[in-house]
Amino acid sequence: MPLSIATWNINSVRLRQSLVEEFLDEYQPDLLCLQEIKCQNDQFPEKAFRKKGYEHQAVKGQKGYHGVAILSKRPFSQTHSRDFCNMGDSRHISAVFEADGSPVRLHNFYVPAGGDEPDPKKNPKFDHKLRFVDEMEAVSAIEDDIPSVLVGDLNIAPLENDVWSHKQLLKIVSHTPVETEGLTRTFNKGGWTDLIRQKIPPEEKIYTWWSYRARDWEASDRGRRLDHIWAAPQLAERMTDLKVLKHARGWEKPSDHVPVIVELDLT
């Protein structure tokens, strides 16, 4: 059977718990990585998700902001969270699980958005974002001989066709050259493969986020690809399917991000 991994910036798991439950019922991923859960660990609706078959959970919450979680049908042999930039934020969690008798490491990231001014000297939030991405260079596609998958809201759209207008967004946070070059260095140094762009060629536009500010997000279609799934090369070559659920942006009271699901044949 294929292994399916989903990633979704839920923008408050308690506010959108019913959407998560409906998503789990319909798509049944083996693992679901959530970002921006916006709650502390003891506020996370773990019991509701256990009832859906996701007995194994790794949660790194934070009061009111940020927060990441992994829901899994498969047990974890280990979990770990790293405090990038020593800010005390809950922006990373990882877990190791078994796939056909072999271990796979899964990283779940929520990279800082960076504020509005793309100048690290004037904007501490942007400086934090750049430093965070620099520290991510230490995260490798293979760690301790275990191949990895890295998912999450990386808050950077690195390629020209990852945004609705490359020229108009060059000075907008999430697509500035300093950000895209930084993420590309992290990607290359870690030895990763971009699974979304392995399925959807760079010549084609693809987005995972549409702003709440748009009156009609679907008609204007001014999106950005902020959510990513990377994998070690030996896992990437086993990819059998990938879905970007654009229609989820039109659900009632949706997140501004949509789920992305990858399937790997690891048998």
Q: pLDDT for 74-85, tens place per residue?
A: 999 999 999 999
* Confidence band, pLDDT 50/70/90 cuts, at residue 126: very high
Domain that holds residue 30: 3-264
CATH code assigned at 81: 3.60.10.10
Go through the chain and tell me how many residues it has.
267
Rounded mean pLDDT of the chain? 97
pLDDT (0 to 100) of residue 267 = 81
DSSP string spanning 21-88?
HHHHHHH--SEEEEE---S-GGGS-HHHHHHTT--EEEEE--SSS--EEEEESS-EEEEE---GGGS-
pLDDT at 33 over 90: yes
pLDDT at 215 over 90: no
pLDDT (0 to 100) of residue 116 = 96
Give the rounded percent of residues in the chain with a pLDDT score beyond 70: 100
* Confidence band, pLDDT 50/70/90 cuts, at residue 64: confident
β pairing state of 146-153 and 102-110:
parallel
Closest CA to 174 of 215, 216, 133, 203: 133
* Confidence band, pLDDT 50/70/90 cuts, at residue 47: very high
Average pLDDT (149-172) is 98
Output the six-digit token pair for 131.
């430093």
Average pLDDT (159-173) is 98
Give the rounded percent of residues in the chain with a pLDDT score beyond 90: 96
Rg (CA), the chain: 17
Number of domains in the chain: 1
